[in-house]
Chains A and B, each alone.
Chain A
Amino acid sequence: MKQGRIVLDQQARHVTPLADGKLLLDNGNPLADQPQWLAPTSGTVYGVALNHRSLLDKLAADFQQPPYQKAPATPVLFIKPRNTHAGHASNIALPAQAGKVFAGGTLGVVIGKTASKLAEEQALDVVAGYTVVNEISLEESSFYRPAVKAKCRDGFCPMGPWQVDAASIDPLNVEIRSYLNGQLAETNHSRDWLRSVPQLIAALSQFMTLQPGDVIIPATPLRQLEIRPGDSVAVEIDGIGRLENRFIAEESAQ
């Protein structure tokens, strides 16, 4: 079962896809208009930094030096707040004087039940489903301080269009493909993640209670997919869908 969220008459409404590509509203009526997509959920979005081998391998030597001194012992987490959440097909503004901006095609794990102090073996029981995420960021030269300025700009976390049921995806075997202007530009595979989805859910739930609607972004690869104004980035996961957004220069953003 696939479900998405759109705005209709200033209200968030759920939609499901029909075989011909049209959309069905949550009250059974067909949607005639072009959908205005929202992220499929409105909970807290927790990202996990430094969980992709491409990044860890590059930084391994740095992590023995100041200011880090040693490699991280626990998952390194960040929050993508509500101003970053965006839907499929929304235009995203690239800040004018902030340096390079990078796409980050990845998986979104949507929590479906209140979850506290879970063992790894129970972790997948609290997953409602999965979505597609583009975890956008400025270049990060340091991981010592929270990356709010790099990661929390408006629209820097598009998600969607669909959330699919947990049963339809194996989070230990997911391939995420990112396309820049239609060309395959990056592949992110769950086998390259230091900690798996169940390990991350267990680790996070040890110290904070996860709520239905919360999203965990397990890993973003080493930043290499640079985005410029006018570019379109699509992130695709088989069995979930294709999230596509156009990027525009900040001054022309509406």
Chain B
Amino acid sequence: MKHARIRLPGQADIHPVLVQADHSVQLADGRRFAEDAVEWLPPAEGTVFALGLNYADHAAELAFKAPTEPLVFLKSPATLTGHRQVSVRPDNLLYMHYECELVVIIGKTAKNVKRAQAMDYVAGYSVCNDYAVRDYLENYYRPNLRVKNRDTLTPIGPWWVDRDDVADPAALALRTWVNGELRQQGNTRDMVFDIPYLIEYLSSFMTLSPGDMIATGTPEGLADVVPGDEVVVEVEGVGRLVNHIVSETQYAALHTTAV
């Protein structure tokens, strides 16, 4: 099953929904709405972990050796946005790129979990686009929040799918299209640190809780995106997340009209 969180137009309430085959959503009271008739929100709430350099080809692309220990950083809810929303490219930039990633959603409190049991703690999977503004990288706590935790720059969703609906999370194609053109391709089999390893690693020094999310890194094929671009990231068997890039001015205009 596919689980999402949505708002209805002009309403503040957040509804957990089940997503149907045609991407319409069903509320708990049985009401149905089409995909384009709702506001899609991030599908879970919790601590957000993200992995840097977790695909060997991407590490090479950035001229790094693959890490010997997971390069983990954190995100806050401030940066998350949902399916079919916009992301802001700051003005006066040289380089902002997309990153298609498989996201693991934790379903059970996990502390000191061993690799062999790690998958018992997974509720399901989602997709995120972990945009980075490379101009703002500094060599302190890299990648810092100014690069990776900006408003609107982490679309996630559209939904999460149950763990058991994905036969092998270590064999999923990742793809990114910009304006319909395939720009990034990879496969989760090429992760440096796989999902069980990451759960064992993180839970060895902190407790994971239901709703926590682990964005597992991105393969090679990064490119700049500009206002007007439609960016679609897809993880095979999980979901296809649509996002549009806007300028700061366009975003400000959207937010003065939408109350």
Give the interface of A toward B (CB within 8 A): 44, 46, 49-50, 67-70, 72-74, 76-79, 81-84, 95, 98, 116, 143-149, 152-154, 207-211
Q: Output the least CB separation between A210 and chain B (Å).
A: 7
B206 and A76 contacting across the interface, CB-CB below 8 Å? no
The listed residue with most A CB atoms (<10 A of its CB), out of B46, B71, B149, B209, is B149
Known interface pairs A76-B144, A78-B141; A211-B78 also in contact (CB < 8 Å): yes
List 7 tightest A-B contacts by C-beta distance, closest first: A81-B47, A146-B73, A208-B78, A77-B145, A79-B74, A44-B76, A76-B140
The listed residue with most A CB atoms (<10 A of its CB), out of B46, B76, B79, is B76
A78 and B74 contacting across the interface, CB-CB below 8 Å? yes
A81 and B74 contacting across the interface, CB-CB below 8 Å? yes
Interface size in chain B (residues, C-beta < 8 A): 32
Known interface pairs A44-B77, A82-B209; A146-B47 also in contact (CB < 8 Å): no
| Assembly CA distance A83 to B208 (angstroms) | 8
A208 and B149 contacting across the interface, CB-CB below 8 Å? yes
State whether the Cβ of B257 lies closer than 8 Å to any Cβ in chain A.
Answer: no
A67 and B139 contacting across the interface, CB-CB below 8 Å? yes
B141 and A83 contacting across the interface, CB-CB below 8 Å? no
Task: Give chain A residues whose Cβ lies under 8 Å from the Cβ of B205.
Answer: 95, 98, 149, 152-153
B207 and A146 contacting across the interface, CB-CB below 8 Å? no
B47 and A46 contacting across the interface, CB-CB below 8 Å? no
Taking CB as reference atom, which chain A residue is nearest B75?
Answer: A79
Q: Which of B46, B90, B138, B150 contacts A82 (CB 8 A)?
A: B46
B47 and A208 contacting across the interface, CB-CB below 8 Å? no
**Would you list 15 pairs from A and B whose C-beta atoms are within 8 A, ordered by A residue?**
A46-B145, A69-B139, A72-B138, A74-B144, A76-B140, A77-B149, A144-B139, A144-B142, A145-B142, A146-B74, A154-B207, A207-B149, A208-B145, A208-B151, A211-B77
Q: Which residues of B (143-161) have their CB < 8 Å from a CB of A? A: 143-146, 149-151
Q: Which of A49, A68, A69, A154 contacts B206 (CB 8 A)?
A: A154
Task: Give chain A residues whose Cβ lies under 8 Å from the Cβ of B207.
Answer: 83, 154
Task: Give chain B residues whose Cβ lies under 8 Å from the Cβ of A154.
Answer: 111, 206-207
State whether the Cβ of B56 lies closer than 8 Å to any Cβ in chain A.
Answer: no
State whether the Cβ of B72 lies closer than 8 Å to any Cβ in chain A.
Answer: yes
B140 and A83 contacting across the interface, CB-CB below 8 Å? no
Task: Give chain B residues whose Cβ lies under 8 Å from the Cβ of A98.
Answer: 205
B151 and A207 contacting across the interface, CB-CB below 8 Å? yes
Task: Give chain B residues whose Cβ lies under 8 Å from the Cβ of A44.
Answer: 76-78
Taking CB as reference atom, which chain B residue is nearest A204?
Answer: B145
Task: Give chain A residues whose Cβ lies under 8 Å from the Cβ of B73.
Answer: 146, 148
- What per-residue 1/0 map shows which CB atoms of B61-97 lie under 8 Å from chain A? 0000000000111111111000000000010000000
A209 and B78 contacting across the interface, CB-CB below 8 Å? yes
The listed residue with most B CB atoms (<10 A of its CB), out of A73, A79, A82, A143, is A79
